Amino acid sequence: MNTLTDLKTGHTNAEWHARRQAATPRGVAVMGDFFIDKAKNAEFWDIEGRRFIDFAGGIAVLNTGHVHPRVQAAIAAQLQRFTHSCYQVVPYAEYVTLAERLNALVPIAGPRKTAFFSTGAEAIENAIKIARAATKRSGVIAFGGAFHGRSLFSVALTGKVQPYKAGFGPFPPEIYHVPFPAQGASLDETKHAMEQLFKCDIEPSRVAAIVFEPVQGEGGFNVIQAEALQWLRALCDQHGILMIADEVQTGFARTGKMFAMEHFGVSPDLMTLAKSLAGGTTLSAVVGRAEVMDAPAPGGLGGTYAGHPLAVAAAHAVLDVMAEEQLPERAQRLGGQLVAHLRAAKPRYAQLGDVRGLGAMVACEFVDPATGAPDADLTKRVQAAALQRGLLLLTCGVYGNVIRFLFPLTIEDTLFTEALGVIDAALADVLSA
């Protein structure tokens, strides 16, 4: 069976969905009722020719847009040279130069080193391995509402049961959660929970690392309190615990800086990177203090496809585009415009709750106006109304009542304005009914 031939014979989205359901498991959930055919920057077209504006970006993977010419050219050039050697068997210089570039960019104090992997979950798991090797400890603390991946250890760190953890236990031991100091909890509540954790569950001298997202992604785009990060850094220093900043979703200009940690003036010990690092190809990284990164013995880190040559080539092009097109600055401008637009709509709609964000990592909540309770059903209806008008949006949040906006930072101004109009129309369709 030739899939490309199948597509050209006029099969519909409905027919492909029937084949999908017969060929793939239900555990791989699919949101859209259409199949993509082609894409360019912040737009894509399905196999029936319908056009969409993309405010999902492959879940924050496409900060440089679909098929950026620089990224496309870099992959094409590498494709002519070689596609795989396994870096641990036959190394290539581009891996080393990309590590050097990231070492120079990340907000980590002192000498730094980088190791590459394939996915965000893989980066998280390896960061924990590195932390355990460096500290000779086993405990790990994460936060409620966090998302760190779907592999068994990373999903154990994730602070959201449905749909990620339900039915997959038991999970690895010595993983603990405390409330995240943002919209849902005060810093005092987090401090109290941490104190209780140290009194009741694990002594701090057995904790290897505390891992967190500077802005929670799946948890609802909750921005960590700046004071909380200062406290967390002091707590880690006091007890010899390593601080791991998960910047898988926040990295690479999304928040208006290359990395979200730059907003807070706090230096983590390790950072995990992925998603928009490589323009849609599979690449992740752990970057950290050199002495910490060197803790695992030779052979303890790596992977058959880790630091794949095509993805490494793409990542070099992404970093060039970030600098040349000033995408951090563009994220600040577009994110500010979106926040202002959403907040201007709040007086018209009592169901539109908190509007928040950092740079272009923006989200809004939907609530029951009488009680203030999260309204997931209303959120889905707004999402569906936008999709009906050709704008792809994603929901998130522990209660499923948040819409997040993850447009490519390279989006044309005219297209961005068009998308704002679609958002207005979707809000009016649902909230005025």
Q: CA 378 to CA 367: how far, in whole Å?
A: 8
Instruction: Based on the fold, state whether residues 26 and 89 are members of the same structural domain.
Output: no
CATH number, domain of 418, equals: 3.90.1150.10
Q: CA 126 to CA 141: how far, in whole Å?
A: 15
Where are the extended beta strands (E) located within 108-259?
Answer: 112-117, 139-143, 175-178, 207-212, 215-216, 222-223, 242-246
With respect to residue 261, please indicate whether it lies within any of the assigned structural domains: yes
Instruction: Based on the fold, state whether residues 287 and 363 are members of the same structural domain.
Output: no
Instruction: Based on the fold, state whether residues 305 and 333 are members of the same structural domain.
Output: no
Instruction: Based on the fold, state whether residues 274 and 313 are members of the same structural domain.
Output: yes
Model pLDDT, residue 201: 97
- Cis before 170 (ω within 30): yes
Instruction: Based on the fold, state whether residues 88 and 12 are members of the same structural domain.
Output: no
The pLDDT tens digits for 16-49 are: 999 999 999 999 989 988 999 999 999 999 999 9
The pLDDT tens digits for 332-347 are: 999 999 999 999 999 9
* Summary count for the chain: helices (H), strands (E): 14, 17
Chain-centroid distance, C-alpha 54? 16
How many domains are contained in the chain? Answer: 2
Statement: residue 397 has pLDDT above 50: yes
Statement: residue 73 has pLDDT above 90: yes
CB 312 within 8 A of CB 279: no
Mean pLDDT of all residues belonging to the chain: 96
Model pLDDT, residue 184: 78
With respect to residue 65, please indicate whether it lies within any of the assigned structural domains: no
Model pLDDT, residue 6: 57
- Cis before 163 (ω within 30): yes
CB 391 within 8 A of CB 383: no
User: What is the domain extent for residue 426?
Assistant: 3-60+326-431
Q: Residue 361: CA atoms inside 13 Å, Cβ hemisphere, count?
A: 32
The pLDDT tens digits for 110-168 are: 999 999 999 999 999 999 999 999 999 999 999 999 999 999 999 999 999 988 999 99
Statement: residue 3 has pLDDT above 70: no
Mean pLDDT of 288-304: 97
Rg (CA), the chain: 22
Mean pLDDT of 281-293: 98
Lowest-confidence segment of 156-170, 191-205, 230-244, 407-421 by average pLDDT: 156-170
As to burial, measured by CB atoms within 10 angstroms (0-12 exposed, 13-18 middle, 19+ buried), residue 138 is middle
With respect to residue 144, please indicate whether it lies within any of the assigned structural domains: yes
Q: What three-state secondary structure class fits 100?
A: helix
CB 34 within 8 A of CB 48: yes
Nearby residues of 90 by Cβ (< 8 Å), 6 or more positions away: none
DSSP-assigned letters across all residues of 12-34: -HHHHHHHHHHHS-TTS----SS
Model pLDDT, residue 1: 47
Model pLDDT, residue 183: 78
Instruction: Based on the fold, state whether residues 224 and 111 are members of the same structural domain.
Output: yes
Candidates 221, 215, 133, 208; CA nearest to 176 is 208
User: Quick one: tokens of 190?
Assistant: 């987090």
Question: 240 vs 88, 134, 174, 178, 210, CA distance in Å?
Answer: 31, 10, 17, 19, 11
Q: CA 412 to CA 391: how far, in whole Å?
A: 15
With respect to residue 240, please indicate whether it lies within any of the assigned structural domains: yes
Query: What pLDDT band is residue 320 in, cutting at 50, 70 and 90?
Result: very high
Domain boundary among 280, 302, 324: 324
Q: CA 400 to CA 90: how far, in whole Å?
A: 46
Q: What percent of the chain has pLDDT over 70?
A: 97
Instruction: Based on the fold, state whether residues 306 and 392 are members of the same structural domain.
Output: no
Q: CA 231 to CA 189: how far, in whole Å?
A: 13
Instruction: Based on the fold, state whether residues 141 and 255 are members of the same structural domain.
Output: yes
Domain boundary among 324, 342, 365: 324
Q: Which residue has the tokens 């889905």?
A: 380
Angle between helices 226-239 and 187-200 (to 10 degrees): 20
CATH number, domain of 96, equals: 3.40.640.10
Model pLDDT, residue 11: 85
Mean pLDDT of 261-271: 97
Q: Residue 304: CA atoms inside 13 Å, Cβ hemisphere, count?
A: 0
For the full predicted model, state whether its pTM sits above 0.85: yes
Domain boundary among 324, 341, 375: 324
Q: Which residue has the tokens 């908190």?
A: 354
